[in-house]
Homo-oligomer: A and B are copies of this chain.
């Protein structure tokens, strides 16, 4: 990962859509008018063409390799973002089941997922971090899932609060459904512990417009034929994500990013190492000036993706954002619902960008602390 000042690019700390690898963007640019050997742009080819089918197959195979997805799971590329998954999960797995879906509420996205589930069937909240202002997470051993539950829903990384589970749940009796939107492909995951994983692409995995669903095949049998056709997972599984026209360009882009992770980065273990090391630069700066920077997350659950903190007051936060912008660091304002600063440092954020921000944090605290 090299510096990205070429092409007039700045260090984009957006929480999503977010920074992508320069080499992937260059490849897209180079073949945007015509895919080699195909005679048309990726934007123009039929989803039923041999050329697209090869891209689709390779992307699925590469994702399976990268994540170590075991046999017995299907990879689907859908539309509508995680927001639509908030509904599709309970529509397929809960509705009319007579069972209860159990939710762990760890922040904004967990809450939003629950709002949709309540519309579809019986739900139960097993743990809610509201009391600690969503700065904490439970240990998996403290989450008492009923083996009779339709599923357990969790959010692996809360993008807005900046908190992240650092291990997979293990041995849960009910199917675990995880919204991995903001840390998907940022680290290794034991897929076999999950019934269903979903993630919108626009953090680590591609541009906005495609949502990945990895579903254990036995769960495809759930969901009634009377549901809207687009919302039934098995329609997409049976059609290999071509039940209707899929977002072809976004899938192609994800395919290139998966290849970048395999070939250029060397896999998810290496990626996680680089991500931890980048995050440490920022958390170290916070910890060196504890009277000046107040991190939102409890130390043990700090996110490696979204580093959230406050300065002593909003005026200083404004001044900080303004100096950051001058240093080429953009999109650092915290989510409008919580304020403060948020540095999203996804896979493709160059280390140089994080170093630039960390230096600014040090010098700013020294000058204003």
Contact = CB atoms under 8 A, between A and B. Distances in A.
Interface of A: 6-10, 12, 14-20, 22, 25-26, 28-29, 32-34, 39-41, 43-47, 49, 79-84, 86-87, 91, 115-116, 119, 200, 202, 207-210, 226-231, 243-250, 253, 328, 330-331
Given A14-B49, A29-B32, A209-B209, A245 B43 contact: no
Looking at chain A's contact residues, the main secondary structure is loop
Contacts of A231: 87
A231 B85 CA distance: 12
Given A12-B40, A87-B228, A208-B247, A17 B80 contact: no
A166 to B, nearest CB: 26
Contacts of A25: 32-33, 41, 43
Contacts of A228: 84, 86-87, 91, 116, 119
B330 A208 contact: no
A113 B248 CA distance: 23
Contacts of A28: 32
Given A86-B229, A244-B81, A207 B20 contact: no
Which 6 interchain pairs have the tightest Cβ spacing? A10-B39, A87-B228, A209-B247, A79-B79, A83-B244, A7-B33
Nearest to A40: B12
Given A226-B119, A229-B116, A245 B17 contact: yes
B9 A43 contact: no
